[in-house]
Amino acid sequence: MSRNPYVRPISTTTWYMRHGRYKVYVLRELTSFLVMFYSFLTIYGLSALTGSAERWDAFLASQQSTAMVVFHGVALLYFLFFQTFPWFKLAPKAMPVQIGEKKLPDSYIIIGHYVAWLAVSVFILWLAGAF
């Protein structure tokens, strides 16, 4: 082997642009910004809840704008397709279920996650009185 093997130069800042699969990976990882954003938005809401009803209503009013409707709408779709659904897809790899000698088929685990997610979502929205 040569003393100075050739190392193909790869950009450390734009490497993911070379392949579709890498782009999807980066898009998926960017949902962590949304997790941080909505966590702190909720914490900000909690700070308003420590006060009077007027302060809480002011917080709710401050969140109402067309721009925020668009932002939340896009964020919801982006989060579903780049965090929630991919997470369910990898669940059988992360948590394979073995019963005796047999392994539970991947599809069962994935469908189980979707069913549980629907139940959790309906419960949260029901608890919040959305319907």
Partner 1 sequence: MAIAKKAVVWGLFAAGGTLTSFVFPALIALFLLIATGNVPEGLQFDQIRTFAVSWLGKACLFIVLFLSVWHAAHRLRVVAHDFGIRKDALVANAVYTIAAIGSVLAAFYLLMIG
- 2-61 positions binding partner 1, by CB under 8 A: 11-13, 16, 26, 29-30, 32-36, 38-43, 46-47, 49-50, 53, 56-57, 60
- 55-114 positions binding partner 1, by CB under 8 A: 56-57, 60, 63-65, 68-69, 71-73, 75-76, 79-80, 83-84, 87-88, 94
CB 109 within 8 A of CB 97: yes
Question: How far apart, in Å, are the Cα atoms of 33 and each of 10, 27, 119?
Answer: 26, 11, 26
Closest approach of partner 1 to the CB of residue 81, in Å: 11
Residue owning tokens 């579709």: 20
Q: Is 85 exposed, middle or buried (0-12, 13-18, 19+ CB in 10 A)?
A: middle
Does residue 115 touch partner 1 according to CB under 8 A? no
Q: Is 96 exposed, middle or buried (0-12, 13-18, 19+ CB in 10 A)?
A: exposed
Which residues contact partner 1 by CB under 8 A?
A: 11-13, 16, 26, 29-30, 32-36, 38-43, 46-47, 49-50, 53, 56-57, 60, 63-65, 68-69, 71-73, 75-76, 79-80, 83-84, 87-88, 94, 116-117, 120-121, 124-125, 127-130
